[in-house]
Structure 1
Amino acid sequence: MTKSVPSVCVSYPANGSSTTSNEMGMRAMQERAYEKRGEQYLLIKSPPASGKSRALMFIALDKLHNQGLKQAIIVVPEKSIGSSFADEPLTKFGFWADWTVAPRWNLCNAPGGDDGKVGSVRSFLDSDDQILVCTHATFRFAVDKFGIEAFDDRLIAVDEFHHVSANPDNKLGAHLGEMIARDKLHVVAMTGSYFRGDTEAVLGPEDEAKFETVTYTYYEQLSGYTYLKTLDIGYFFYSGSYADDLLKVLDPDEKTILHIPNVNSRESTKDKHREVEHILDALGEWQGTDAETGFQQIKRPDGRVLRVADLVDDEAAKRERVSAALKDPKQKNNRDHVDIIIALGMAKEGFDWIWCEHALTVGYRSSLTEIVQIIGRATRDAKGKTHSRFTNLIAEPDASEEAVKEAVNDTLKAIAASLLMEQVLTPKFEFKPKVATNTAQEGFDYGEGGFDPEKCNVGFNEDSGKFQIEIKGLTQPKSPEASRICENDLNEVITAFVQDKTTIERGLFDEELVPEELTQVRMGKIVQSKFPELDAEDQEAVRQHAVAALNFTQQAKKTLLGDDTEAQASTAFVTGVRQFAMNVRDLDIDLIDRINPFSEAYAILAKTMSEDSLKQVAAVIEAKKIKLTPEEARDLAKRALKFKQERGVLPSMTSSDAWEKKMAEGVAYLARMKQEAMNAQ
């Protein structure tokens, strides 16, 4: 395995604020959500372990007691997550009511399949009881059978909302769309992911506009912890069998969840049980199975005995015993209960093991949402746990493989996921045009010398985890919708950008690339297709804000990592952002557009992947390269027209400026097409 280089290391102040409760027993995120309890449609975007389940309890109780709703139906993606909504004595911590679910109405605990529980939903709707918990599937079947009218005057609370989609084929999304159109119920939607991962919108734009959004960022969550101070995210490459190289990445002294590859993936040996045996053998000498928990006991060379939970076993009885032992509430705070968990499809969403220090995943996961959920397993706060990490282990492209293109795709997807997680984990950006009337904002630290009206200032508010950055020439959003996107949804724009195959291929491997082809043309097209309802000026504002957020994160990382790729101490990211702003004479939007957002990712890739593999990836991508498409030429011609309006002349093919030359190529290409069409007549 080549040198391990984390693609990002984020440090947090660990000030304890997100785990401290107010007089009503609410943590910071829950208090923020509760302030919006009167909203008919509420979307809560908050990381795993931030307390979304309890936030919903507070809001649902208020809607039932003070807002005149008849009942609350809590909808979760799978049965195991139903336990998150078990009874809670909220009055004990200062709230005015307790959360109580009658045993017969927690359908996640009921035997039988989801479709067989529809009769229970009908009985609940006809009863005077107020709270029901069921799976997404049970809810879908119930709506199919009883119609949307049966749920009038009720609260529908959807946990793990990223399972919903605006695609008509997604039944849950279609049902919710109809319910929102009917407008006779309340919806609270909760998600720990900022994207679905399959590039489909969760809601249609007209439905999303009805939701009031409460956002609590990863940075706020992790900054407010008491113990956890740093989080590493890295992708590492190996050749041969992953089990042979695993212990170069897996440290047996760290509490680890290891997700082995899906049996259909390139990395799998197609025999998951042999893979688990191989891993156990590499860890040490097998000492037998613990009779009570079903954990495997493995003796290390130093004499220590590891307790390993195997969730891959196909024998249902064995797997259920191990799963029950992991969920044992009496062991929740016992660090020594288990050391390593090996899983395939389990131990992701909703799985709670606070001691996990390392989430190690072999093979690229098809969905970014899945990666977010896996990382969430390692971001719980626990006494004595100061550092945690996520590692994605990926097979290098092998010259002898037929599936070289698939290997290249996996590599690109892993880099895209890493870039996105960097955006999610770092502080929030608020960009402002640089104007003479700007003044220092209360709560923001502007660094040495404070706010300077002559310069582009970078302020940072540690309490809110937010940057305020002045940029010359920045277009501000005009409409409320564009402002909302710039404030809350830039990560979704960046997701679409880095998941765009052509964009990431060219950004990493096209030596002739002019950065504006990506930052202006590609990002511009993505914003237009995602937000067609915005006018051209608002689309440009969203484009500029998204490019600025992505490039500031990447340039701060470049400053941090320097040449040795070793991450610096606690306030490093803030320092990196300031340094980038100071290193340029004029911080304007044109300068930001001239930065390739993928250059830092390539630098890290070059250090983690062998030279031969890197050349092979580059060759595969080069072979697919298309010089220019008619659509791209039209985009370049539009920008050439804007260039002429600003400067009085059209871009020149002989210009020394690469972007001006590229725009001129677009104009020439269109002229050539027009001439060819006339000649053909």
Structure 2
Amino acid sequence: MAKVPTVAVTYARNGTSTSSNELGMRVMQERAYEKRGEQYLLIKSPPASGKSRALMFIALDKLHNQGLKQALVVVPERSIGSSFADERLSDFGFWADWTVVPRWNLCNAPGGDDGKVGAVGKFLASEDRVLVCTHATFRFAVERFGIEAFDDRLIAIDEFHHVSMNPDNKLGNHLGQLIARDKAHIVAMTGSYFRGDSEAVLSPEDEARFEPVTYTYYEQLNGYKYLKYLDIGYFFYSGSYADDILKVLDPTEKTIVHIPNVNSRESTKDKHKEVEHILDTLGEWTGADPVTGFQLVTLPDGRVIKIADLVDDEPAKRDKVSAALKDPAQKNNRDHVDIIIALGMAKEGFDWIWCEHALTVGYRASLTEVVQIIGRATRDAAGKERARFTNLIAEPDASDEAVREAVNDTLKAIAASLVMEQVLTPRFEFKLKAPTNTAQEGFDYGEGGYQPGKANVGFNETRGTFQIEIAGLAQPATAEAKRICQQDINEVITAFVQDKTTVERGLFDEELVPEELTQVKMGAIVRAKYPELPLEDQEAVRQHAVAALNFTQQAKAAILNGGETTEGANTAFVDGVRRFAMDVRDLDIDLIDRINPFSEAYSILAKTMSEASLKEVAAIIGAKKLKMSPEDARDLAKRAVIFRNERGRLPSLTAADPWEKRMAEGVEFLRRMKAEAMDG
């Protein structure tokens, strides 16, 4: 099984994300605290970046300086409540300490939600300031006491991606009611915010009320002291995954293995035997540690490793193992455990700083879940220089009745890797190339500096941001379009790469004209996501999204073709972006639109999947090749009108240029459709 990472990112280790200012705040926390006066705050920041402490700073200011009565911290599950335990913030320079009266940390309280809801009522009537409870307890409390009971209070919602505007999502409904009443303050926090994932988290109107604080994965990882390399890859196996798992599971690495859900295609339907098989494959089982419950396995080289089994359903055993993993005395002990095997646990909120490898078997249906799992491996720890995430996927087998399902999982895994590339690499800011442009402060323009008349690529390492000039680029005009281009481009890309037909054609349609994806498909996705934007702004958002996706892909290609690896300098990705920009005569939006965004993904797929399986996938997708739809024809016709306005003629069906010919086919399709309708 070839180990070809789909994403390989190198970081500078400049220490900024772990250093503190005079108030004891790290960079992300300081950025959030600057917005502490906002009534509605949305903090989007990676795992381990310090969101819980950022909330403490903000909440204390709201309670002491902004007139709010109380703060309620709402977490998805009881275990995460420990993140909001007492903190002596004054020891690090802040002007107050964070304290939670023990009776008001309901995550530690015994009993069910009914008694805890009563406790919320007592808290609201008390003089105490801070309460911590689960999402469920808060939902029931709102239902019992009404929205108005939370007036003049701060509601802080951790792991905000659990909220949805789906009518069945009660927390989402209550949040909408709180915003409509407009008398509470809300701080929402999440490390995995993908509105293109499934249900929208907030309605567009409600989301516009929130002031965002964004701290990117690149900023976080670039600012670490120890972790420098992060690899993300999908690899394929045939037969039972347990037989092939040692091809990607290295027992010398600290690893979390997530075995497949019992209802998934990859599962053998006996999760306990799967765990036993993994233990047997690793070495000889020699018993269980009586204190921790960890399984002891002797490797072929004689070394004994400790494996935590969180799959075991027997409560006493699993509780012992779980308690041992959470033992605060062992948090900084690298040798405490070597491998953790889990199914539904050890994801969100699970903190094991030594984890070097997150190995997941089977495709995960949610990007949010993928981000949470990757977050387990991206903690910074002494001596931990490299981390990786591996998605082990079953190869499509032509003899298997579920072959189409296997193909779908493969395409979804590719889509997830493309999204993660955008999330983990620097952000892009695109500017229209103009004679009046000048160098911007804080940006490094490479050897020779800023050069008027050329394709300038500036990079700000501190904020992890590129600034790239592109000729012919449409600029957003409205405030909302500017916000989308600055903050939400990854949301657009997520929706684009998760469109099944788009991925299929981008990877396997040899007759594809790239503009059908970059202009027609991306254009349709932007219109669907932002129907309220003027047409000019929709086009600007489309162009920015295509440019961001294609720059990332071409930078990756430049790195691979240049022979650079993740062992090189941390400038490899930056150099790759510059190389692409400099290698073309005219860097304009038309050139960027003519690049198939999936070409590099295909080259990786060809290296990781067997040739027979790759041909099988191509054949399955080719067999269901879609004819042109009326919607696509209309989009092509609109592009044909733009073509006519620019060239003074309509596109030709006999044109040598494939995109011009495709636009002409769209016009012809509509003409025939209209004629057939008239013939009736």
Q: Deviations over 1:291-332 (max 9, x none)?
A: 111101111111111010000000011101101110111100
Contact 2:353/2:381 (CA < 8 Å) preserved in 1? yes
Map 1:658-673 onto structure 2 (within 5 A): 658-673=658-673
Q: Deviations over 1:215-253 (max 9, x none)?
A: 000000001000000100000000011111111111111
Does structure 1 residue 594 correspond to structure 2 residue 594? Answer: yes
- 1:565, CA displacement in angstroms? 8.6
- 1:201, CA displacement in angstroms? 1.5
Rounded Cα–Cα distance in structure 1 between residues aligned with 2:618 and 2:127: 65
Instruction: Provide the residue aligned with 1:471 in structure 2.
Output: 470
Contact 1:5/1:565 (CA < 8 Å) preserved in 2? no
Does structure 1 residue 89 correspond to structure 2 residue 94? Answer: no
Does structure 1 residue 492 correspond to structure 2 residue 508? Answer: no
Q: Deviations over 1:110-137 (max 9, x none)?
A: 2233344211111111111111111111
Residues 369, 115 of structure 1: alpha-carbon distance in 2 compared, 3 angstrom cutoff: farther
Instruction: Provide the residue aligned with 1:556 in structure 2.
Output: 555
- 1:477, CA displacement in angstroms? 0.7
Instruction: Provide the residue aligned with 1:454 in structure 2.
Output: 453
Contact 1:524/1:540 (CA < 8 Å) preserved in 2? yes
Instruction: Provide the residue aligned with 1:647 in structure 2.
Output: 647
- 1:350, CA displacement in angstroms? 0.4
Rounded Cα–Cα distance in structure 2 between residues aligned with 1:69 and 1:315: 46
Rounded Cα–Cα distance in structure 2 between residues aligned with 1:116 and 1:282: 47
Rounded Cα–Cα distance in structure 1 between residues aligned with 2:666 and 2:143: 52
- 1:199, CA displacement in angstroms? 2.7
Map 1:249-288 onto structure 2 (within 5 A): 249-288=248-287
Rounded Cα–Cα distance in structure 2 between residues aligned with 1:647 and 1:147: 63
Rounded Cα–Cα distance in structure 2 between residues aligned with 1:460 and 1:290: 51
Rounded Cα–Cα distance in structure 1 between residues aligned with 2:473 and 2:253: 46
Does structure 1 residue 315 correspond to structure 2 residue 309? Answer: no
Instruction: Provide the residue aligned with 1:580 in structure 2.
Output: 580
SS at match of 1:9: strand
- 1:150, CA displacement in angstroms? 1.1
Rounded Cα–Cα distance in structure 2 between residues aligned with 1:331 and 1:107: 25
- 1:525, CA displacement in angstroms? 0.8
Rounded Cα–Cα distance in structure 1 between residues aligned with 2:412 and 2:352: 27
Rounded Cα–Cα distance in structure 2 between residues aligned with 1:617 and 1:342: 31
SS at match of 2:17: helix
Rounded Cα–Cα distance in structure 2 between residues aligned with 1:469 and 1:563: 21
SS at match of 1:393: strand
Q: Deviations over 1:615-639 (max 9, x none)?
A: 1111221122212001110111111
SS at match of 1:19: coil
Instruction: Provide the residue aligned with 1:125 in structure 2.
Output: 124
Q: Deviations over 1:359-416 (max 9, x none)?
A: 0000001100000000000000000000000000000011121111110110001000
- 1:562, CA displacement in angstroms? 1.9
Instruction: Provide the residue aligned with 2:158 in structure 1.
Output: 159
- 1:354, CA displacement in angstroms? 0.3
Rounded Cα–Cα distance in structure 2 between residues aligned with 1:196 and 1:205: 11
Rounded Cα–Cα distance in structure 2 between residues aligned with 1:479 and 1:17: 34
Rounded Cα–Cα distance in structure 1 between residues aligned with 2:112 and 2:368: 26
Contact 1:18/1:225 (CA < 8 Å) preserved in 2? yes
Which sections of structure 2, spanning at least 5 residues, go unmatched? none
Letter in 2 for 1:524: G
Residues 487, 197 of structure 1: alpha-carbon distance in 2 compared, 3 angstrom cutoff: closer
Instruction: Provide the residue aligned with 2:148 in structure 1.
Output: 149
Letter in 1 for 2:617: V
Letter in 2 for 1:633: A
Q: What TM-score comes out, normalization by structure 2 length?
A: 0.99
Residues 115, 561 of structure 1: alpha-carbon distance in 2 compared, 3 angstrom cutoff: farther
Letter in 2 for 1:651: P
Map 1:232-243 onto structure 2 (within 5 A): 232-243=231-242
Rounded Cα–Cα distance in structure 2 between residues aligned with 1:190 and 1:42: 8
Instruction: Provide the residue aligned with 2:63 in structure 1.
Output: 64
Map 1:478-627 onto structure 2 (within 5 A): 478-562=477-561, 566-567=565-566, 569=568, 570-627=570-627
Contact 1:196/1:368 (CA < 8 Å) preserved in 2? no
Identity %: 80
Contact 2:71/2:153 (CA < 8 Å) preserved in 1? yes
- 1:167, CA displacement in angstroms? 1.9
SS at match of 2:98: coil
- 1:194, CA displacement in angstroms? 2.9
Map 1:200-215 onto structure 2 (within 5 A): 200-215=199-214
Rounded Cα–Cα distance in structure 2 between residues aligned with 1:320 and 1:585: 63
Letter in 2 for 1:480: A
Count of residues paired in the alignment: 679
Q: Deviations over 1:480-518 (max 9, x none)?
A: 111111111111111110111111111111111111111
- 1:200, CA displacement in angstroms? 2.1
- 1:9, CA displacement in angstroms? 0.5
Contact 2:196/2:492 (CA < 8 Å) preserved in 1? no
Rounded Cα–Cα distance in structure 2 between residues aligned with 1:197 and 1:276: 34
Q: Deviations over 1:538-558 (max 9, x none)?
A: 111111111100000000001
Contact 1:163/1:196 (CA < 8 Å) preserved in 2? no
Instruction: Provide the residue aligned with 1:338 in structure 2.
Output: 337
Contact 2:556/2:576 (CA < 8 Å) preserved in 1? yes
Rounded Cα–Cα distance in structure 2 between residues aligned with 1:337 and 1:117: 35
Q: Deviations over 1:64-88 (max 9, x none)?
A: 1100011111111111111100111
Letter in 2 for 1:122: G
Rounded Cα–Cα distance in structure 2 between residues aligned with 1:145 and 1:511: 60
Rounded Cα–Cα distance in structure 1 between residues aligned with 2:42 and 2:205: 14
Q: Deviations over 1:82-116 (max 9, x none)?
A: 11001111111111111111111111112233344
Contact 1:197/1:368 (CA < 8 Å) preserved in 2? no
Instruction: Provide the residue aligned with 1:388 in structure 2.
Output: 387
Rounded Cα–Cα distance in structure 1 between residues aligned with 2:338 and 2:484: 42
Contact 1:232/1:389 (CA < 8 Å) preserved in 2? yes
Letter in 2 for 1:597: P
Letter in 2 for 1:16: G
- 1:18, CA displacement in angstroms? 0.5
Q: Deviations over 1:118-163 (max 9, x none)?
A: 1111111111111111111111111122221111111111111111
Contact 2:29/2:51 (CA < 8 Å) preserved in 1? yes
Rounded Cα–Cα distance in structure 2 between residues aligned with 1:390 and 1:508: 23
Letter in 2 for 1:5: V
Letter in 2 for 1:273: H
Letter in 1 for 2:677: A
Moved over 4 A (4+): 563-568
Rounded Cα–Cα distance in structure 2 between residues aligned with 1:339 and 1:198: 33
- 1:566, CA displacement in angstroms? 4.7
Map 1:406-417 onto structure 2 (within 5 A): 406-417=405-416
Instruction: Provide the residue aligned with 1:50 in structure 2.
Output: 49
- 1:198, CA displacement in angstroms? 3.5
Rounded Cα–Cα distance in structure 2 between residues aligned with 1:198 and 1:140: 24
Rounded Cα–Cα distance in structure 1 between residues aligned with 2:512 and 2:262: 38
Rounded Cα–Cα distance in structure 2 between residues aligned with 1:16 and 1:611: 44
Rounded Cα–Cα distance in structure 2 between residues aligned with 1:566 and 1:512: 33
SS at match of 2:547: helix
The farther-off stretch of 340-349 and 140-149 is 140-149
Rounded Cα–Cα distance in structure 1 between residues aligned with 2:196 and 2:511: 30
SS at match of 1:306: strand
Contact 1:652/1:664 (CA < 8 Å) preserved in 2? yes
Contact 2:489/2:545 (CA < 8 Å) preserved in 1? yes
Rounded Cα–Cα distance in structure 2 between residues aligned with 1:184 and 1:69: 10
Contact 1:298/1:305 (CA < 8 Å) preserved in 2? yes
Q: What TM-score comes out, normalization by structure 1 length?
A: 0.99
Contact 1:14/1:223 (CA < 8 Å) preserved in 2? yes
Contact 2:10/2:566 (CA < 8 Å) preserved in 1? no
SS at match of 1:390: strand
